[in-house]
Every structure is written in C-alpha cells, then in structure tokens.
A and B are shown apart, each in its own frame.
Chain A
Amino acid sequence: MNLPTWLQETDSPRDLSAFPDLPARSVSRSSSGTQKRSSGKASSWITKNLLEISQLLQAGLFAEEVALKKGFLQSLNPRIKLLALFCFLFIVNFVHHLSLILAVFLFFLGVAKKSGLSLKSLLQRVSLIVFLFGGLPIFPSLFSWVRSGTPLMILYKFSVPVEWGPFHFPATLAITQEGLRSALLFMTRLGTSVTLVAVLTLTTRWYELLSVLRSFLIPKIFVMTLEMTYRYIHVFILSMEELLLARKARDAGALRTKEHHLFIASALGSLFSKTLTLSEEVYFSMLARGYTGEPRTARSFRFSLWDLFIMAVIILTSLTLIAADQANLF
C-alpha cells in the first residue's frame, strides 16, 4: 500500500502560482522558501501521519502473509508459542551470561528460517531497534566520566581533573571494562528479546494469539476487549486517514503552528465523539445478534501429544538454561 504520488512530496515548498486566488501573504511566503513557516514544512506532519498509517496497515498485512505460510512455527499450537515466548523472554532477561543469550538468539534465527521468515529483513529490523533503543542510549555509559570503572582503553588524559560548572570529572577519560561488558549484554538482550517477539508473533494469526491469552488466566473481559480493540483500531485509523487526506487536499498556503494544533484538537475531538456513538451502535448490534455478555470463540484448540512433547522440551530447556547460568560453568 503506497501513498499517492502527490502525497509523497514532503518538505519541498509547492509552487502555488497555479492558485491566483490565494491570499498574497501565503503565496509570497511559501514560494520565497526563505520564510520559516513554508506551507510544505508546516504540513509535513500530516504526511508523516499518513505514512505511518500506511506502514501500520502494511505491517498488519505482512504479518498475516507470514502467518499463513507453511513452516515449523506456523504448525505449532499457538498456546505453545505463547508459552515459549514467555519462557524464553524470561530467560533472555534473567540470565547473566552473554553466551547463553547468544545461543537463544541463534537458535531462534534458525527457527525463523525454518518458518519461512526472511532473515535479512528480520535482522535489518532488529538491528535498527537495537541501534535506536540500545546503542544510542547506552553509548555514554561506556565512558569513565559517566560511570566509573576499570579503564580498558584510555582516550585522553587531562593534566588536572576537569570542572564544568557544577560537574566534576576525573582527569582520565577512558572506555571502561564494566561499561563495555554491560553495553554488550544490554544490546544482545534487547536484540534477542525483539527477535523473539517478532518471530513468535509474526508466525501466529492475530485472532489466534489473542484467543490464546484466555488460557493464561487473563480475565475474559480483557481478552474480549483486546479482540474488539484490534478490529476497531483499523476502523479508527482509516477514519483518521480520511480526515488527514481531506485536510491535505485542501491544504494551501502557510498556517501558524497554533492553527495546526486547533485542527488536531478538532480531529481528535470529533474522533472521540465518533467513538461514543459507535460504541453504542456496536453494543446494540451485538445484542441484536444474541450477545449475552459471555464471549465464545468459534474455534477451540486441541492439545495433541506432539504439543505436549514440545511443551515439555520448552520447559525443560528453560530450566536447563537457568541452571547453566547459575552453575557458573563458563
């Protein structure tokens, strides 16, 4: 799903000479390009929102496509997959040894390959998240000025301790051993967690994933709300898309940030009013179809011996990894 070509132009100020009726101020501002509030720039947030909406819908379609392929994970009972997700996430976040976390990571890359996932796109996605949410925030902690520790590589030695206003730093600026080890552990953990979630949720259809939550002692009211929410998110996002597209189509000339904010307020406000009306209508239509407050699913899961076997392997592997971590053999 792509944006129409006229929407893909983003920050470049548009040529407004085709609109002679526009007020002089807006034409001169946007065509000169030197003004801070050119029309293109000011409304680029609309384009950004529209792009994000289309990415979200695309992600949903992609997940369905992967879940419908034939592969190892797709053939497993969704309950088993959720159990595996929780067990391995816990292990990855609990154990202290980098080698064990890497082993889990490599194992799941193998499983992903067996399940028809593209390793290239998976690794691209994971490395982007590891860089943004792991690498960038953790980077300062490598240095001795932020967290003291045993120096591993001395970067610079000042003659006297450095003082900047209220901050005091020691004379040596170095990358610390503790900082590096902690950063490696942190990033591996983050990357493996993200991989686990991506691999196990992409290979499960969304309604299966949600209905499995029921077997995990989560109150029915939450699970049913979750199921309905997932559907209505798409309805809301599409109506938001219509609102923004209509706005974008009428957008010409420069607007103050305040005017944009007023538009956002009216968009969200009207969406909320719509929420109220729609929820009432949905409720009545549910009643009309015989809803009694007791949710039912059309599909019930069956546990086969094969599932039991996989479940036992998952639990035993988890316990083994924890014991291996605690035994300190590495």
Chain B
Amino acid sequence: MHIPDGYLSPQTDAVLGLASALAAVGAIRKTNESLKTKLVPMLALGSAFSFTIMMFNIPVPDGTTAHATGGALLAILLGPWSAMISISVALAIQAFFFGDGGILALGANIFNLAVVLPFVSYGIYRLLTLNRHPSSSRRTIAAGIAGYIGINVSALLAGIEFGLQPVLFHTAAGVPLYSPYGLNIAVPAMAFAHLTIAGPVEALVTGLVTSYLLRSNPTLFQTPNQFSVPRDHHPQPLEQGQGLGQAQSPFLHSPDPAQAKSSKISRKKLAFGIMFLALLSPLGLLAKGTAWGEWGAEEIQSQIGYVPQGFAQFSEFWQHTLFKDYSLAGFGNSFWQESLGYLLSALVGLIMIGGIGLIVSRILSRSEERHEPTDLASRN
C-alpha cells in the first residue's frame, strides 16, 4: 500500500505531509530531552526491523505470498510514538533508495502507515487488554484484531485519498488529473483487498509474533509500551511512549560549545542575496507604475508633456533587443503569460552569464596554473 507519485495531487501530498510533520513533532516532544541520546540507536534498529518485516514475504493459502506492514506489531512492542518514527524512517528509506512509494507522496504514506495504523492498532490493543493481568491468549488475540483493524482503517484512508482526487482535481473538460476513480470505486476496491488478504496477513503476523514473544521474552509485556531491554532494570516505570531506559552516562550532558558565527559578509552570501532578489523579480508585475528614473519615452511624455530631443534620439538606439521590456512578443495577455516572458528572459540571461563565466574561467585556468581550480569550475 505504498502510494507512488502521480496518484495524488501535490496539494493532497502537502496537506498529508503537514499532518505527518506535526505528528513527528509530537513524537519528538514525547521523548524526554535527556533520553534522546539513547533514542537514536533504539529507533534506528527499530526502523531496520520495520524495514525487514515490510520486505518479508508471508505465504498465503492460495500458494502465493503477501506482505505485512508490521505497524501494529511495532506499536504494541515499542509504543505508538516510537513505532511512528521507526515506520516513517523505514518508509523514507524505501522511497529514496528502493523506489518503493513516492517521494512527494511520502507524507501521505507516513500518514496512512506510520501515524494512523500504529495509533489505531495500539488503541484497540489497549482497549482489549484493559484488565490488570491479561492472559497470553487474550493478548495474542487482541494483537491480531488490532492488526486487522489497523491495516483496514489505513486502507480506508488511502481509498478516501484516492477517491477525492477526481472530485477535487480535474481540467475544465472533466479530465481527471490524478487517480481517476471516485470514492464509489476507490474505497470498495481498497477495502476488499485489505479485508480479504492484507488484513488477515497482518493479523496473523501481529498475533503470532506477539504470541512467540510472550513465550520467549515475557518481560517485554510486563511494562507495556516500552522499548526496554530485559537485562536493564529500571527502578521506576517510564511514562507512556517514552520507551527508553534511563541509564545515562555522565558524558551525555556535556553541551556542545556553540560555534561562533562569523559576521563577515562573504561573497557567497551576497550571491545568495542577489539570486533571491532575482527570483522575487516577477513580484514587480504586481506593482503598478514603473521604477523611478527608468522611464521610457512614453512615460516621460505622459509625465512632463514632451520628450527631450536627446532622449528621443537615444531611445531609438536600442530597438533591436531580443527580449524587449524583459518580455516576449505576444505574451502579454494574462498575468501568467507575462510572468512566463519575464522568467524566460531571466533564464536566458542567467544561462548567458553562466556561459560567459565558464568561458572566462576556462581561459583563466589555462593561462594560469593548470591544476588550480577556479571559482566557477571548482566542485566538491
């Protein structure tokens, strides 16, 4: 259920990405500042475990195989917040290094699989194991149900996200721009696949692994939702979701000396500033009127009533420019056409400047020392 790029509009991706980012901020806040040092190796290995589960093929009765997400399992074992970070990291690695799931759609995938799935599953698991000392079989069954419902809620959300696309994003002629199926098709299709195959597989993996760990490593379940190592005894149980041991070393609190920032304005900063201003230049289109002192013959005529003779003479001189008024002929009909003219002029100008710079730097580097890289040609 990794959504590739192209299924959802960038607007949907942005909204879901924002929701995921907020959840990530919550996850970081939940973990106590002083415990963060220990958090990194814990979460990294949790993520690697999550990645391994997601790539594992589970045999299903018809002879083929299916994948589980392991989201519910991680939520039960690590607590929902740690599970969230672990699954998010695993999803990010899949998207960036293995082309599994889109990069723009990463926010949406994290929202469905790393935020909603673990929290729903965890809630259900806790609800079903409310009594003080639940039996092993009760825990196993609760884990299975949590996995089944969790993955189905997550699939339902994905179905809704797909189904909203043709409603919200289509051309004037009614051509859908992204996933073309409406809610009436997308939701039942996703629900069917997950209720019949993916759901049972998730339930199976969650239930059976929980059952195995209950037998082999029962201390894991004594203080629920902790990422704790059995041999490492903590005097006091941790808060929910912290999921970490408190053993700290005295080295940990030595603060990093803040690096003094140089106040010198470097050439690069200047170049950054200029580039930023260049990018802002189309904003000028929004302003009425012209820049002071940059009047053309028409503006002077309208302001002072006549055009001075010398001005008229020289304004004729530059008639043969490529991009007159930084624009293209026939591109003045709308805001976007005008912007396109501006931007194309800027792009051509920039490429020309870059080209000239490159030629000059080549000539310089040839005439000077051969192996000394010049500014423009130097790379990392």
Give the interface of A toward B (CB within 8 A).
41-42, 45, 48-49, 52-53, 56, 59-60, 63, 75-77, 85-86, 89-90, 92-94, 96, 129, 133-134, 138, 141, 146-147, 149, 178-179, 181-183, 185-186, 189-190, 193-194, 197-198, 201, 206, 209, 219, 221-222, 224-230, 232-233, 235-237, 240, 257, 260-262, 264-266, 268-273, 275-280, 282-283, 286-287, 290-295, 301-306, 308-309, 311-313, 315-317, 319-320, 323-324, 326-329
Q: Report which of B5, B46, B73 forms a contact with A93, defined as CB distance below 8 A.
A: B5
State whether A230 touches B103 (Cβ < 8 A).
no
Given contacts A313-B350, A327-B337, contact A222 B85 (CB under 8 A): yes
Q: Report which of B177, B213, B254 forms a contact with A182, defined as CB distance below 8 A.
A: B177
State whether A265 touches B57 (Cβ < 8 A).
no
State whether B177 touches A320 (Cβ < 8 A).
no
CB closest residue in chain A, given B230: A276
State whether A147 touches B57 (Cβ < 8 A).
no
State whether B380 touches A189 (Cβ < 8 A).
no
Given contacts A178-B176, A186-B180, A229-B48, contact A312 B275 (CB under 8 A): yes
State whether B36 touches A293 (Cβ < 8 A).
yes
Given contacts A89-B5, A209-B96, contact A269 B103 (CB under 8 A): no
Q: CA of A36 to CA of B6 in the docked complex: distance in angstroms?
A: 41
Task: Specify which chain B residues have a CB less than 8 angstroms from the CB of A45 in the assembled complex.
Answer: 57-59, 65
Task: Specify which chain B residues have a CB less than 8 angstroms from the CB of A75 in the assembled complex.
Answer: 379
Known: A90-B104, A186-B6. 8 other contacts (CB 8 A): A129-B99, A219-B28, A229-B47, A272-B77, A304-B380, A313-B350, A316-B279, A327-B331
State whether B28 touches A268 (Cβ < 8 A).
no
Task: Specify which chain A residues have a CB less than 8 angstroms from the CB of B96 in the assembled complex.
Answer: 197, 201, 209
State whether A85 touches B103 (Cβ < 8 A).
yes
Task: Specify which chain B residues have a CB less than 8 angstroms from the CB of A277 in the assembled complex.
Answer: 229
Q: Report which of A53, A93, A141 forms a contact with B10, defined as CB distance below 8 A.
A: A93
Give the interface of B toward A (CB within 8 A).
4-7, 9-10, 13, 24, 28, 36-49, 51-53, 55-59, 61, 63, 65, 70, 73, 77, 85, 88-90, 92-93, 95-99, 102-104, 166, 171, 173-182, 185, 204-205, 208-209, 211-213, 216-217, 220, 227-232, 245, 249, 251-252, 254, 256, 268, 271-272, 275, 278-279, 282, 331, 334, 336-337, 339-340, 343-344, 346-347, 350-351, 354, 357, 375-380
A102 to chain B, nearest CB (A): 14
Given contacts A232-B44, A280-B232, contact A327 B340 (CB under 8 A): yes
Task: Specify which chain B residues have a CB less than 8 angstroms from the CB of A146 in the assembled complex.
Answer: 181, 185
Task: Specify which chain B residues have a CB less than 8 angstroms from the CB of A193 in the assembled complex.
Answer: 4-6, 102-104
B220 to chain A, nearest CB (A): 8
Q: CA of A7 to CA of B347 in the docked complex: distance in angstroms?
A: 57
B105 to chain A, nearest CB (A): 9
Q: CA of A179 to CA of B180 in the docked complex: distance in angstroms?
A: 8
CB closest residue in chain A, given B8: A93
State whether A304 touches B375 (Cβ < 8 A).
yes
8 cross-chain CB contacts under 8 A = A178-B173, A225-B47, A229-B44, A229-B51, A232-B48, A272-B49, A287-B252, A308-B268
CB closest residue in chain B, given A76: B379
Task: Specify which chain B residues have a CB less than 8 angstroms from the CB of A257 in the assembled complex.
Answer: 59, 61
Q: CA of A213 to CA of B93 in the docked complex: distance in angstroms?
A: 12
B106 to chain A, nearest CB (A): 10
State whether B343 touches A316 (Cβ < 8 A).
yes
Task: Specify which chain B residues have a CB less than 8 angstroms from the CB of A313 in the assembled complex.
Answer: 347, 350-351, 354
Q: Report which of A264, A301, A316 forms a contact with B380, defined as CB distance below 8 A.
A: A301
Q: Report which of A48, A286, A290 forms a contact with B41, defined as CB distance below 8 A.
A: A286
State whether B205 touches A49 (Cβ < 8 A).
no
Q: CA of A81 to CA of B321 in the docked complex: distance in angstroms?
A: 34
A2 to chain B, nearest CB (A): 19
Task: Specify which chain A residues have a CB less than 8 angstroms from the CB of B213 in the assembled complex.
Answer: 269, 272-273
Q: Report which of B41, B204, B232, B379 forms a contact with A261, defined as CB distance below 8 A.
A: B204
Given contacts A236-B49, A283-B42, contact A221 B10 (CB under 8 A): no
Task: Specify which chain B residues have a CB less than 8 angstroms from the CB of A53 in the assembled complex.
Answer: 55
A133 to chain B, nearest CB (A): 5
A35 to chain B, nearest CB (A): 13
Task: Specify which chain A residues have a CB less than 8 angstroms from the CB of B28 in the assembled complex.
Answer: 219, 221
State whether A312 touches B41 (Cβ < 8 A).
no
Task: Specify which chain B residues have a CB less than 8 angstroms from the CB of A294 in the assembled complex.
Answer: 256
Q: Report which of B49, B90, B171 forms a contact with A271, defined as CB distance below 8 A.
A: B49
Q: Report which of B49, B97, B227, B231 forms a contact with A201, defined as CB distance below 8 A.
A: B97
A244 to chain B, nearest CB (A): 10
CB closest residue in chain B, given A198: B99
State whether A240 touches B5 (Cβ < 8 A).
no
State whether A197 touches B55 (Cβ < 8 A).
no
Q: CA of A59 to CA of B232 in the docked complex: distance in angstroms?
A: 38
Task: Specify which chain B residues have a CB less than 8 angstroms from the CB of A209 in the assembled complex.
Answer: 96
Q: Report which of B4, B56, B344 forms a contact with A133, defined as CB distance below 8 A.
A: B4
Q: CA of A198 to CA of B102 in the docked complex: distance in angstroms?
A: 11
Q: CA of A292 to CA of B36 in the docked complex: distance in angstroms?
A: 10
Task: Specify which chain B residues have a CB less than 8 angstroms from the CB of A268 in the assembled complex.
Answer: 53, 56, 70, 73, 205, 209, 212
State whether A302 touches B271 (Cβ < 8 A).
no
State whether A309 touches B93 (Cβ < 8 A).
no
A11 to chain B, nearest CB (A): 9
Task: Specify which chain B residues have a CB less than 8 angstroms from the CB of A264 in the assembled complex.
Answer: 56, 58, 205, 208
Q: CA of A232 to CA of B48 in the docked complex: distance in angstroms?
A: 6
Task: Specify which chain A residues have a CB less than 8 angstroms from the CB of B103 in the assembled complex.
Answer: 85-86, 89, 193, 197
State whether A315 touches B351 (Cβ < 8 A).
no
Task: Specify which chain A residues have a CB less than 8 angstroms from the CB of B282 in the assembled complex.
Answer: 319
Given contacts A178-B175, A206-B97, A319-B279, contact A269 B212 (CB under 8 A): yes
